[in-house]
Amino acid sequence: MNKKSMPANQELKRYKIEKDSELFKYLIEFFSSKKKPLLKSIMGGGQIRINGDVITQFNHPLKKGDTMEINWSKPSKKVKLQKLNIIYEDQDLIVIEKEAGLLSVASLKEKKKNAVQILKEHVEAVGPNSRVYIIHRLEREASGILLFAKSKKVQELLQNSWEDYVIDRKYVAVVEGKVKQANGTLKNYLRSNKNNRVFVVDTPNNATEAISHFHVLKQSNAYSMLEFRLNTGFKNQIRVQMAHFGHPVTGDKKYTAKKNPLGRVALHANLIELKHPITGEHLKFELVPPSNFRNLVAKA
């Protein structure tokens, strides 16, 4: 899913949602004179706002009375780069969807391209003096939404005051086995060792408390697909806590998983909601969980 920014100077047509529905179904019904490829392009181009939020998710739920704004002008050119998609970009921020296997930033041991290098080449093609700064990281084995800054100022604003700007973050994972609880909270003390492995300890001494909330989205006897909201952001937090809970993330051999049916760790950062650090604009980016996550659970 790709999305470009919606410049403030583009004219938006405003509509009032007349009934509960899903976004793409609603567009097809109420704009029947428009061709489906155009409607998909409008959505993929980040040209639709619902109640002020840029929305690209086709099945985003609409409620009667919601406000929808659409920029009907020609969609911006989509940007797909090696192992990542740019889903939003303005003069201050870049938001990407990272593929599993891609490092967020350079490593001393890794010579392959990372997300920062790929984005650096992208912005330098527009302006030779342009720069990209990492704001937070997403584990190499995981996929999903990741933020970058275009200036040191924006990087420092978000890194130093993360909780002031970031409203919500969610992850989806497929774990081994059938989780008995429909909802739950995991609280553990985590510590990392010199080999970069994270583990659960019994006391807070030289450790950090990690808190994760989950609920079950879908499950079978063999697998469960869960959505997580984190109170903390310790490295490998979900992977370590779920392994300790007895339901390791599928494909995560580092943390006791027995199977790897997808050829990757089944962890995906699917939502981030934040206040723009410069403009104050409310931004929300949400991705549908990978189809192979859902298919794995359905077929098991």
Tens digits of per-residue pLDDT, 20-60?
999 989 999 999 998 887 887 787 666 888 988 778 777 88
Q: Nearest Cα to 102, choosing from 92, 90, 117?
A: 117
Residues 156-194: tens digit of each pLDDT = 999 999 999 999 999 999 999 999 999 999 999 999 988
Which of 2-6, 36-40, 112-116, 282-286 shows the lowest mean pLDDT across its residues?
Answer: 2-6
pLDDT greater than 50 at residue 11: yes
Residues 289-299: tens digit of each pLDDT = 899 999 999 98
Q: Higher-confidence residue: 237 or 232?
A: 237
pTM here is 0.73
Instruction: Classify domain 171-268 by CATH number.
Output: 3.30.2350.10
Asked whether the beta carbons of 130 and 122 are under 8 A apart, the reply is: no
Q: What is the DSSP letter of 286?
A: E
Domain limits, the chain? 13-70, 82-160, 171-268
pLDDT greater than 60 at residue 9: no
pLDDT greater than 60 at residue 221: yes
Q: What is the topology classification, in CATH, of domain 13-70?
A: 3.10.290
CATH architecture label of 82-160: 2-Layer Sandwich (3.30)
For the chain, the average pLDDT equals 88
- The pLDDT value recorded for residue 45 is 64
Three-state DSSP class for 188?
A: strand
Q: What is the DSSP letter of 149?
A: E
| 131: phi then psi, degrees, rounded to nearest 5 | -135, 160
- Give the separation between CA 98 and CA 109, rounded to whole angstroms: 20
Three-state DSSP class for 114?
A: coil
Compute how many other C-beta atoms are within 10 angstroms of the C-beta atom of residue 253: 12
Q: Nearest Cα to 88, choosing from 79, 100, 99?
A: 79
Structure tokens that stand for 87 in this block: 């889903």
Longest dimension (CA), the chain: 65
pLDDT category of residue 213 using cuts at 50, 70 and 90: very high
